[in-house]
Structure 1
Amino acid sequence: MKKRVSKISILILAIALMMPLILFKGEVVKADTKKDISVKTKVGFNDKYKVGYFTPVTISIKNDYKDIQGTVEVKVPTSENKYDSYMKNLSIQKGTEKVVTINVPVKQAFLKYEISIKDGSEEVYSEEIKVGSANNQTVKFVGILSDDFDSLTYLNKFPAPKGVTVSTELIKLDEKEFPDYLRVLQSFDVIIINNFDSSKLSKEAYESLKSWVKLGGTLLVGTGTNYNKTLSIFKDDFIKGKPGEIINVNTSKIYNVATNGDNNNSVSVENLNIQIDGSSTNIQEGNTKLLQTLKIGSGYVAIAGFDFGLKPFVGWANNSAFGEKIFGMINPNFVVSDKFDNSYRNGYFSVSGLVSSLMDKKANINIYLAVLIIYIVLVAPITYFILKKLDKRELMWITVPCMAIVFGVVIYFLGSGTRLSEVVTNNANIISLDSKGVATKNTYVGIFTPKKMNVEVSSKEGKRLESLDNPNYNGDAENAKRNEVDTVIREDKGSLEFKNKSVLASRTLSIPSTTINLGKIESNISLDGDNIKGSIKNSTLYDFEYCYVITPKTYYILGPVKKGQSVNVDKKSGDYVGDVNQLTYDKKIYNLNTANASEEDRFNADLLRMSYSQSMQPTRVKDISVVAITKDTISKPLIVNGKDSVVKDRTIIRMPIVLNFRSGDTMQYPQGFVEHRILNASNVNYDPYGDVFYNTGTPEIIYNIDKNIIVSELKLYLESINGKVGSYNATLEIYDYKQDKYVSKTGDSFNSDEIKKYLNGDNELKIKLTIGNNGEPVQVPEISVKGKVK
């Protein structure tokens, strides 16, 4: 009898184990690949792509099977048994071919993705492809748009911080290969346009290029005799300039730059005489500008007057060294180690924390812990002790379940006030505003649901929604399975579908940059010695809960400002070193270095940091801005599962202020108000947050003085290098433009005769520091200037 029971038990157990396979057989068994559908797949650009960024997957389909109306998707593993589906609709007739490009993230692991083609719900093709650790952030991508790519392959060396080795990948691009998706373009460090008709780029590609520059990208444009081709797309106000004549220039600057001054032989260059509004000059021969740089947002656009694909550059032994030097001139951040931070990776974790902290209904964990402790104490020692005294211990089987029910009801009602009753979208809006009232909004969204459910979300305006997924793969890369879909990203529709995420998990996405009508922030600010004074008026449509004025050295806490209200800026709240993080951690605007920091402060601090750092660049303050935070609703509802979502907004607005440094015919820029850039720091460690150098080296710094001032007084503040503060082993040289070389300088002030030889035609002052090996940090010196209006 026992033997029969044992066999029956084993049979029942076997059937129970088999049931999931029987019930879900249709979901796990894949259809056979049809032999008459052939697919060729290319990942990245000539199989080059960068870990932590997005890359295109180009799928070439030849269909000899039947007419197909369905989808093509790339399945990207997200965890051990889940994947994200990047999908596009597919309509392809029998006997035809089609190319589909889908942009996907490259995860932090070597993984097998899957290409899947479906006709309706039937899978007719599937194939695994390997995607993974091909290149990391020490590999620099240089995209080249040129009709003569081979002539530019010498631009294969990249500047790097001291002690860091980088390599370069040259990517050949054309109007078809050029990314029109910003998240793909962000994997490039430099884009070069030379001898190429830029008007061939699509409108979407050009908009992507401009956004890429504003977020920290570096664009290098060669002109010369082909300037009409290379500049043909720049017909808007992205670059303002006026081309002149092409002249032959005999210059020693080309060889000088490439050899660090060892070779000063002259060479003839065909150069376009072009004036670029707001630019600074990198290389100049007499009055002729050979290379100019324009800072746009956090990025740089460099215009060379010559063609990089012609002599003397092609076939020259030092052409790679020349390219490396000009890359460093154009964008000094290339020699900063922080440039290797991955904005896509860091952005995901910043945004996830940001939108999660917006939740209004939070459970008080202390109350739950107290209830739990009371329950444990009552159930175990107290109940047992009382029943033992009464000699009724057998009643434990009744009292324990009853108390569990009672405490369950208590916890239910405690938690009922913290539960969501409907779908909520938490929006963190980052708005950039100019003095004319032109506002650009970037929105990050966290979607929270009252229960575990599928969530399909789209924009009413038809905007493309972008999923912000975890760039890391959370699982065993060798045994990654793609059994359960996590998120469906429909590229051609711009919609997202989140599958069965838990109640506690946010569905995180972003809405691309849009222009909105916000109103204006009116400022009447002037200098008062080294500080500022004046007033700020809130002429926007919204009330400000918090308002600040932040300069590169000081900050002013103005408090709440209602719409239509003005507030005075008169007394600074404090000083700092120019690092945004210090404002939030060092008892400045916020003090997050304490366990008692409020959730409100933490969230506002995150907003403040993001308003300065939506780019690949360090978060250092280099302008004077009004910064305001509002809780008013600005965003329109998203469509979630066919209905408008509940919107909870928090918005930060930042507007740079243009100070009036003029009083009558006199202009004055106090200490800290003259911008500088690091020209050459490849041989020294540079910390952009503290604006200091470490270890030995000879960095060069250029100060960009207003071109409209005739400087009569100039002072260098040398406390960090001449021993007035601390003891630093550093000496300073200043560039004498009349002698065309660096000369020693010991004093910190200049008379009017000295100033003439130390400033070039663009009012640039250039210095060089020689830093010793005593290990002390050396602060970048600041300057102040005074003079007459030109």
Structure 2
Amino acid sequence: MWKWLIVFAALFASLSANPAAAADNSIELTVDVPLEGLMKYNQWSRIKVTITNQGDAFTGLIGIGPRSAGNKWRSGIVRQEVTLGQGETKQVTFDLPVDELSDQAEVVTLVRGDKVAASRSLPPLPAQTDRIAAVVDDNQNAFHFLSAVRGNEREYPFDRLTVKNIAPKALPDEAWILNNIDLLALGSIPAGAITDRQLAAIKKWVTRGGVLIVSAGTNQDEWVQPFRELLDIPPGRSGMATDLDQLRKLSGENSLPVDSIPVYNRDFPLISHKQVGSGLFLFVNYDINAEPFASWQYNRQLWKNTLQKYKAADSVLEKDVHYNGVNMPLLNVSRLIPEVSIPSVQWIILIWIIYLLLVAPGLYFLLKRFDRRDWAWGIIPAFAVLLTIGIYAIGRPQVAKEDASFTVNSIRIVDDHMAEVNSAASFLTISGGNYAVKAEPDFLAVPYPVKSDLKNLLAKEEDGTRITYGNVPYLSTTQAYGIGVRQDLGHFSAELSVSDLRLHGTVTNHTSFDLQQTYVQLGMQRISLGPLKQGETKQVDEKIEQYVIPGVGDVDPSELLKMTREERVELTKQNIGAYFPGAPVHLMGFSDQALPVFHIQNKQLAEHYWNVIAQPITLMPGPDGRTVYPYGTLPVSTINLDRYSDPRNIAPKGTITYELSVGKADLQVKRVEIPLDLSPYRPFEKAIFDVKRGMWQPLERSQRVILEENLPQYLGPDGTIQIRFNNPTDQRLSMPLPFFQAEGEER
């Protein structure tokens, strides 16, 4: 008996063996992942596979997928066709959303025909939820103090900054891959360790929203030179700096561990910053790893305040988690193809109920009356077939009269010459079958859902990525998603100011779109400017609501039921946005002008488009020389919860502490007004934190907080004000988010 058990065990082991066992030793696979495998949810990353063929020339398929697929490797994520000659080495890249890579990318498999020719395991690719600071420095402990820069101790687990040291060669030469980190810090690196292509990618990444810190000590001209394109840093003049007031202010400590410090240029500030496009460049004019500052007990506090003061914390710790990943709202809207109607399931069910309850029994009794009951076995099924053909013939034109596509683009204008585009497209082909779509050059593109069978193939060509759809069912929709950068979409110019709760000024449309509708987004408040054609300038004089309650503009569900499908589609289109994280004020417009990202091959389609265009703007000073950021524009964060409270209500005997980001106005703030006298706030006991005395100061329940001459007493070194609400009752109380208005002068 035991012999049979051994036979069965051996047979089972052979069936469950990894397909790599059948691999051809003449083919070698190597795998490289940039940034040493650092990946973030809602971003894209790359797996680069190098194939070396020492055997005969062949054409096959290479794919990545889960290890559990085994011989059923076709259930992998994506596949590409590959052709290799004898002795040839070729690189194949898979550019995919991180969510797919992290969840399913375990094995790279190369197949010739139905045989697995080679297989290689991928390194673990865990997607990060923390904010990531990547450090490139010979010192493994360099920039360690950044790990304490967590902004606020909020309830959200992703508001953390994790520091990872990586080798220079791990830096990618594509800017979009760097979106998997939130901050890049460059310190002591040998000359030439970072290539020109890597430097170009870093600069482009900064322009598109990255945060870069570069530290340079004495006599490091060769290291600093490439970054003068981002910030005009004068060369040379190394020496000792004795004016350390900037470090005293940033750290909040008057007593420093030294009286002087060696610097790269003694005539330049110790820490400089410059907004570059949507990103930030920070130059540190001394060796950030040098003692005694590197281990100074207040160094962490200095850098926490530095990153918040220069808005790096806004970009790093408050970045929108949907910044570059697959945007599901875009995909959902793209499925709503204009002039395509969804068949009414209720009518189809009603027709079949009538057939089953009336027509079929009626036919039977009619045949029975004429003594032809045996004919029922043919007539009733035949009538059902005719009914099905009739429903098909009548219903098909009701769904769609022709093949159609709908492309929805979210366009984020970075500067006068650059815009990031996220694009979702749906293709409806009445007859189905086989077809391919090709993305514009330099766009990353995948079919959606990404995981599909062997019928869908990806091919990277010089003129764009090709997605092939095979055996598409009749009257079915396929989807594709892509991200990329365009240089030809233009920009907005705006000169807007706020005074007496009115928005004044002009907005000019220099984009390449005629806009059906344009808005100014002031925090949670959307002010309509109406249509705006290319080149048109609009005078703005609009009232600003003093207080904005979130959700006021939402449509009641009962009203949605009364809307037609077209009205619901239009409402859905108006509710998708292209927002900039950390931008309190931006312009947004909508257009149905053609902006093709995907092109269907060898088919004619009725093409439809919907574009959402957004650009951050800066408010200008008013007649009194002051710039005003009105109520609800600047962010408020929850930094402490007690007794299971949440940001919208307070538990009995519980408290909530809020942090008002006054410094985000990027002004020398002169006045702050917090309307805590409003009735929604009166049930609570309130207090404001006195920074100078380090204690909470109680407020009267009907007191409106106005800070002017006494503003420095409550404004922290990171540009925030803290207020606290306490629920003294035994009931849970609703807590409206506090608002404030800040005004000041340009720095």
TM-score after normalising by structure 1: 0.71
The answer as to whether partners of 1:438 and 1:515 remain within 8 angstroms in 2 is yes
Of 110, 119, 122, which aligns to 1:127?
A: 119
Q: 1:407 to 1:565 in 2, by over 3 A?
A: farther
Matched, 1:635 2:614: no
For residues 648-706 of structure 1, the C-alpha deviation after alignment (integer angstroms, 9 at most, x for no partner) is 2112233555554332x64352633975687x948999999989999555747443556
The gaps in structure 1 that reach 5 residues or longer are: 1-27, 277-287, 475-482
Of 581, 584, 589, which aligns to 1:622?
A: 584
Matched, 1:144 2:135: yes
Residue in structure 2 matched with residue 75 of structure 1 by the alignment: 64
Matched, 1:783 2:737: no
Matched, 1:769 2:736: no
Report deviation, 1:623: 0.4
Of 321, 331, 335, which aligns to 1:356?
A: 335
Matched, 1:716 2:673: yes
CA RMSD of aligned residues (A): 5.4
For residues 351-404 of structure 1, the C-alpha deviation after alignment (integer angstroms, 9 at most, x for no partner) is 321221234312341544443443334334554566667776555335423532
Residue in structure 1 matched with residue 286 of structure 2 by the alignment: 306
Report deviation, 1:211: 5.8
SS at match of 1:430: strand
Q: For 1:371-520, what aligned pairs fall within 5 Å after superposition?
A: 371-384=351-364, 393-418=373-398, 424-432=404-412, 441-459=421-439, 462-467=441-446, 469-470=448-449, 484=454, 486-490=456-460, 494-500=464-470, 501-502=472-473, 503-517=475-489
Of 667, 682, 688, which aligns to 1:732?
A: 688
Matched, 1:671 2:630: yes
Q: 1:714 to 1:58 in 2, by over 3 A?
A: closer
d(CA) in 2 for partners of 1:421 and 1:255? 71
d(CA) in 2 for partners of 1:728 and 1:344? 40
Structure 2 counterpart of 1:585, one-letter code = D
For residues 1-51 of structure 1, the C-alpha deviation after alignment (integer angstroms, 9 at most, x for no partner) is xxxxxxxxxxxxxxxxxxxxxxxxxxx999953334444445565466556
Q: 1:291 to 1:142 in 2, by over 3 A?
A: same
Q: 1:456 to 1:147 in 2, by over 3 A?
A: farther
Matched, 1:220 2:210: no
The gaps in structure 2 that reach 5 residues or longer are: 1-17
The answer as to whether partners of 2:690 and 2:696 remain within 8 angstroms in 1 is yes
Report deviation, 1:516: 1.9
Structure 1 counterpart of 2:384, one-letter code = A
d(CA) in 1 for partners of 2:418 and 2:156? 43
SS at match of 1:401: helix
d(CA) in 1 for partners of 2:131 and 2:249? 25
Q: 1:372 to 1:688 in 2, by over 3 A?
A: same
The answer as to whether partners of 1:454 and 1:497 remain within 8 angstroms in 2 is no
The answer as to whether partners of 1:624 and 1:656 remain within 8 angstroms in 2 is yes
The answer as to whether partners of 2:137 and 2:189 remain within 8 angstroms in 1 is yes
Report deviation, 1:223: 3.5
d(CA) in 2 for partners of 1:300 and 1:688? 33
The answer as to whether partners of 1:51 and 1:107 remain within 8 angstroms in 2 is no
Report deviation, 1:248: 2.6
For residues 106-162 of structure 1, the C-alpha deviation after alignment (integer angstroms, 9 at most, x for no partner) is 63876564434578x797841141566x53434454322234445445655562634
Residue in structure 2 matched with residue 168 of structure 1 by the alignment: 162
d(CA) in 2 for partners of 1:642 and 1:128? 37
SS at match of 1:703: helix
The answer as to whether partners of 1:448 and 1:506 remain within 8 angstroms in 2 is yes
Q: 1:530 to 1:698 in 2, by over 3 A?
A: closer
Q: 1:243 to 1:586 in 2, by over 3 A?
A: farther
d(CA) in 2 for partners of 1:525 and 1:600? 35
Matched, 1:552 2:529: no
d(CA) in 2 for partners of 1:369 and 1:46? 56
d(CA) in 2 for partners of 1:690 and 1:245? 55
Report deviation, 1:324: 6.7
TM-score after normalising by structure 2: 0.74
Identity %: 16
d(CA) in 2 for partners of 1:130 and 1:732? 53
The answer as to whether partners of 1:355 and 1:446 remain within 8 angstroms in 2 is yes
The answer as to whether partners of 2:647 and 2:737 remain within 8 angstroms in 1 is no
Report deviation, 1:646: 4.9
Structure 1 counterpart of 2:578, one-letter code = Y
For residues 261-289 of structure 1, the C-alpha deviation after alignment (integer angstroms, 9 at most, x for no partner) is 7x95533544567999xxxxxxxxxxx66
Residue in structure 2 matched with residue 185 of structure 1 by the alignment: 178
Q: 1:186 to 1:373 in 2, by over 3 A?
A: farther
d(CA) in 1 for partners of 2:424 and 2:611? 10
Report deviation, 1:514: 0.4
For residues 142-185 of structure 1, the C-alpha deviation after alignment (integer angstroms, 9 at most, x for no partner) is 322234445445655562634849683614131x4212345533
Structure 2 counterpart of 1:191, one-letter code = L
d(CA) in 2 for partners of 1:667 and 1:556? 22
Of 528, 531, 543, which aligns to 2:502?
A: 531
Structure 2 counterpart of 1:768, one-letter code = Q
d(CA) in 1 for partners of 2:633 and 2:236? 30
Q: 1:464 to 1:541 in 2, by over 3 A?
A: closer
Report deviation, 1:204: 5.8
Residue in structure 2 matched with residue 13 of structure 1 by the alignment: none
Q: 1:344 to 1:443 in 2, by over 3 A?
A: closer
The answer as to whether partners of 1:69 and 1:92 remain within 8 angstroms in 2 is yes
SS at match of 2:173: coil
d(CA) in 1 for partners of 2:647 and 2:191? 36
Structure 2 counterpart of 1:727, one-letter code = P
Report deviation, 1:758: 8.1
d(CA) in 2 for partners of 1:449 and 1:464? 24
Aligned pairs, how many?
A: 706
Residue in structure 2 matched with residue 585 of structure 1 by the alignment: 554
The answer as to whether partners of 1:526 and 1:533 remain within 8 angstroms in 2 is yes
